[in-house]
Chain A
Amino acid sequence: MASDEVSPLPFISDNDLKPFYVLHKASNSQQHNVRKPVGRTSRKVKVNLSSSLAATDESEVFDNDQLHNNSRMKNFHNAWVKIESTIKDVLHNIHSDVFNEISSWVQKSFGEICSSGKLDANKATCSYPIVTDVTSKQIFTALVVMSNIEFVDDLQTFADLGVHLHSHGCHVANLSSVDFSAKSGIGGCLRSLLRQILDGSTDAADISILASWYMEHDNFKSPVVVIIEDMDRCSGSVLSDFILMLSEWVIKIPVILILGVATNLDSSKTILSSKAVQHLSPSKFFLGHPADRLDAIIEAVLVKPSSGFLVGHKVSAFLRNCFLRQDGTLTSLVRAVKMAIVQHFLMEPLSFTVKGLLDEEVTEIDAWPTQALDLPSCMRLSEPKSKALLSGASMKEMLNMWSSVVLCLHEVGKNQSTTLLDLYDEALDPKLYNLRNSDYLESKPDHQRPSWIHGINGSSSEKQKGRLISRMIRQIKDMPPAGLFQLLEKWDEQTKGVDKIHEKVKEIQLQEPFKDNNLKDSPSKSRKQSTRNIGNLDRGTKALNEKAVAQITCMTRDHMQPIECIPFHEIVCFKNVDKLQAVLLGDPRKRIQLDLLECNKFLKCSCCTKSNNVPISSMHDTSLMYTLSQEHGNLINLHDWYQSFKAVILQKTVKDKQKSKVSPSPKKRKIAAEPQNITEASVQARFCRAVTELQITGLLRMPSKRRQDYVQRVAFGL
């Protein structure tokens, strides 16, 4: 209240005290330009992007700059669109089986409802539905179990399911726990149900509207499907009421429920009232495991170089850590990849050349621009820059080989539930690649290997690194013939289009001694025959196993060159993991404290540089106060704090006084005169403002009635 009475504050404008205001409207003159936003943005972007290039001759480059920026933005847009659609397709394919299953179940259930209770217009329009027996009050319910406690990843799934069912002619409403809150009650969910099904033409919460709408036109020919994406988070009583109400009307409006269940199948019994449970006639469906989805997305987006955008090893390790340690959601992984694209095209000026590089249809690829020769990866090349390297084609080839080898390895690991994420991470590691090129991968007998390769469950991850690939290779050695045969077929598939590798794989396939033995259906063979052949076969397949091992070893050694080992990779490869992390996961708790404790880093003023974080009077007041507060414990006595603040502020005065006594030059006296002006009142005011600012940052808890003279510290350590 007090603040209202204070004389008008000069620094506050009217707008500052309005809850909201329109700052400006979209400028009209630019409206017409909006059509080609890509070009426009790029013009702006040009100005200040940090570049990995040394300063180039301005005048020479300037003309091309515009052009390059435009094509850079175009490339970005293409990559962005491509990745978005790829992800969408991948998820769609993964779910298509379950979706079809649910869709046919919906049709079947609808048929059953229709056959049990006959609809006619007379019944439908009477005020209360006539229900003949209890069994007809059943609602067909699909419990869709997500094998993932994180419902975020499945939000899109349920949205897609809605679209899928809609395309099959159902009337679909997608509801979520927000609609089933205790606060808005049954009216809330009913309203959003009606909004969605009746296409927003009503705001009333009355189910009879739905009933009469259902009888109109051809609506009654298909069922009403209500999808609730996160049943576990709904208010139990509201959901129970909703179900009871639907069950009363089920003959007139054949509603089919689809409930997303994140925990376990019994949860519906704990959440809902027993009366409501009685009315459900449940069926179960299972969504795919999130790990499968993860693998599919990584394969499509990151392993197969289709978008002209790749990430370096450190970034992939960061993505992996994010997924495994922090968040565990696919959504955040996808978000991180998208963010990485944005950052890459923002930061890499040469990314304008990406066009067509990784596109399969484009065969003609321009040579790298001259600036690219200055890239560190190119400078590293010891031999004279050969012509082959100067075009993107060689890179494209290398990347294709890399991805096919990775996928071949993944085929090996699939039975052992190795995630592609781990494999991908390891395959990108340039250090390991260099190691591999020495003797590391040669299949020595186990006891000859350096001991760290088979450390027991990896006492440290450093030792574990690089184990995955070698372990997979060893697996091939012990593979049964049938498995090997399948594996070779998969390899054949994966290496199609990569001639160098494909030929060799074919070679092994042709050599196979079991070709005529028909191993494919070996279990059905007569025992007699198989026992006779076993010795022969054994030797033959062992040799084949060896060959496969030799082949994959050779493939990993020669063709699995991580992107960071390829010259010019900077153009397509995003490596700046720090930037990505900063943009993706802010850390306000740490950063804000650091701002306060090391304010000089940001302000770079001359006066406080030497202080070395010892509180001195010239420091920013709040920063000074926070530094002082570090000396206190949990509680800060306001009186003590005030006194120490005051002491620091007045410090300079004393020193200067002494100085001025020694050398009473007029200039120094002038400086000294200023701090002398510090009155008790101004110290109090500064103290108050600093406390308020700390309160805004949430680093202090204000005095309670009990402890009027203390504030409480909130953060201890960064």
Chain B
Amino acid sequence: MKLNERSLAFYATCDSPADNSGFLYKRGERHTAYHRRWFVLKGNMLFYFEERDSREPVGVIVLEGCNVELCDSAENFAFAIRFGGSKSRTYVLAAESQAAMESWVKSLSRASFDYMRLVVRELEKQLQEMSRGLAGGCGGSQDAPGLWKPKPSGLEQSRERLPALPAILPKENGCAVWNNALGADRPPDTSGCAGHMDEEGTPRPPPLPPRRRVSNGEAARAVAESPSTFCRLHEQYSREVARLRQDWQQRRRGPQP
């Protein structure tokens, strides 16, 4: 299968910061020797180089639909990246210390695009709930309009308008009180959906990085999302900036104070 290798190599070697990097031993394909390689994790791509200063990666592992687990091996500090599917390979790697192994297992298990998307959606939802709560007054016992002052509108009235000043939400507000602790070892929710709000408005934590096997349906999904809150907020802020700039320019042109 063709791949835009130059773009991949560029991504691997450009100066955008890596999410993790270091030497790891990689077991050869035919269960032979381990080779020491320089690994660079960026986003959901795990690149490996022959040497730390090599110009191009030797290979890349795309970290979608995989499980990262510790494994029994003669080699110390070994862990595996396991993919589902009959033809898929398991990559066995070994770190040079316990700390390095733990750091890699942690960063690799959170590396998938799917996981990132899950967290983003969860935060997006939280923000929407908060905005709605502030605009309409939260359903709880405390009604605190005096705690924050919405900016006099140059901005359009929109249901999602955020207050210009940082708001301190009343503690009883279900949106502001988080009492869920997500332990790192919890068994995952394999439904793959983000956390839901229950009746009282206390959100359940989203599932951990999915440990599911790759299913055929997943791979064949085309994504076409409608404009996100992020884009709307971005637009809002740029309108605000444009208006402020205009004000400032008008003041400059006006009579001297």
- Asked if chains A and B come from one complex, the reply is no
